[in-house]
A and B are shown apart, each in its own frame.
Chain A
Amino acid sequence: MKKLLAAALGILTAVGGFVDIGDLVTNAVVGSRFGMSLAWVVVLGVVGIVLFASMAGRVAAVSGRATFEIVRERLGPRAAGANLLASFAINLLTLTAEVGGIALALHLASSVEPRLWIPVAALAVWLVLWRVKFQVMENVAGLMGLLLVGFAIALFQLGPDWGELLRQAVPPSPPGAEHPASYWYYAVALFGAAMTPYEVFFFSSGAVEERWTAKDLGTNRVNVLLGFPLGGLLSLSIAACAAVVLLPAGIEVSSLSQVVLPVAQAGGVLLLAVVILGIVAATFGAALETALSSGYTLAQYLGWSWGKFRRPARAARFHLTMIVALLLAVGILMTSVDPVAVTEMSVVFSAVALPLTYVPILVVANDPEYMGEHVNGRVVNALGTVYLVIVVVAAVAAIPLMIATGAGS
């Protein structure tokens, strides 16, 4: 019974953690401009993150070593150092977006300006990182993030033309008004939002935090196979809500407030409140995860003591890193930069950084010294190679597309 509960909570965590501010905004923008014609990217991204996270989780469970330790060991200090710089910078960007997202969501719930919420949000994130046990933190944030299922409920209540939605998705038929370059730019952005590197750093380090061993491989598989696809369904619901309500009206999503309008239309104030609470929880959870990831990556690269399971005093530099990262995020946000703009940039750069994280994991998952008998099977390796190509293509195409379309405008 306890095992069942453990698996269930893991799934809920994956769901709640999957839909962060990047997914919320990007899926809504895509739904409002392209309808469901980019749904295939969400599916592609979900399969990718399932593959990626399960490999990283397996590596962590079997070897007891987390991703970035292995990146350092297998790539050597120079390549791993470059990897660290890029990953850390993008992670910081994502953290900034998430903290900004918390502030935006709280602004929706109250009439208090986002700028006033930013320091409060950052302080709250830090307090949880400082004091709260890892599992408690995961489960509460994950469970509450599950409230985002309100988008799926809203979609059903809107009574859309399912045939039309399906027709937009298969085969992918973008609206004529949009330029193909914009279509592919958003495809890359959506892919980056689904496969953000921090999810993998967090997942594998979390496996070490929770002391997974080879016996937990079953839990790993269940978590990943159920959690991320459920998160993918939530992403599709958000896009579909936007496609049903906003696309016909010619509305382009550019703010979080527009994302929730379909929910209000469908279910009124009650459903709206549920979803806003879900957004606060999801962005809060994501902020926790990205802050922890910044600590994990730096500490693992430099060999420092790390982990939430240790007293802060026994992982001093790890905690210092997270404090500094949060302070930097607050600093950036206080310059009145639009968090939605930061979000849109962070997902594109996440796509660029994917190969940096993906290649080492694929390599180590095949290394018998770390994995013993649990090296990748042939099917996983085949899939892994296919995704390697996709990930590299996306990474290479991201910046040129961003320049060519003026970041999607």
Chain B
Amino acid sequence: MTDRRGERRLVDARLHLLSRQVLDPDGEPVGAVDDLALAGPDGGEVEAGREAHVDAILVGPVLATRLFGGRVPDSRLPRIAWDDVGHVGTAVELTVPSDRLDAVWVERWVRDRLIARIPGGRHDPEAGA
């Protein structure tokens, strides 16, 4: 993969991508890389022995299938497109703010329906308790 200096770098998917933290541009955690979606050279099916590229990161409910086996149907997978990834270091950094991602809908739901309804939920603790 090419990193931000435009240099090519070899990244081991198992070591450096799987289970890594995904952060948005503000450093806010988005999720963990639970699995990777691969695609063939023209975005089609992956064939053994032919070149494949990473299409998207899968976050969230895929964890259960990674633990116990089985597959989640494509239509139900929360994905973050690989194009949204900016940098891979000890964490995977995105270029898109978390609010604009579908994958974080659970967090948004808990925020809007539960936490924000409790008084003080939107208060910034660093701004002088």
Contacts and interface: CB of A to CB of B under 8 A. Distances in A.
Contact of A316 (B30, B63, B115, B125): B115
8 contacts: A72-B32, A73-B20, A131-B129, A132-B129, A305-B30, A305-B98, A313-B116, A320-B110
Given A133-B128, A308-B125, A317-B107, 13 more contacts: A69-B21, A72-B19, A77-B66, A77-B67, A130-B118, A136-B129, A301-B32, A305-B30, A310-B28, A311-B124, A312-B120, A313-B116, A320-B110
Contacts of A301: 32
A314 B28 contact: yes
A133 B114 CA distance: 21
A306 interface: yes
Contacts, number: 94
Contacts of B115: 312-313, 316, 319-320
A175 interface: no
B125 A303 contact: no
Interface size, B (range): 35 or more
Given A316-B114, A320-B110, A305 B121 contact: no
Contacts of A163: none
B121 A311 contact: yes
B103 to A, nearest CB: 11
A3 interface: no
Contacts of A109: none
Interface residues of A, number: 37
A117 interface: no
A131 B120 contact: yes
B45 interface: no
Contacts of A369: 90
A136 B128 CA distance: 10
Contacts of A78: 67
Interface in B69-110: 90-91, 98, 106-108, 110
A320 B121 CA distance: 11
A188 B111 CA distance: 42
A285 B90 CA distance: 32
B43 to A, nearest CB: 27
A40 interface: no
A81 interface: yes
A167 B108 CA distance: 62
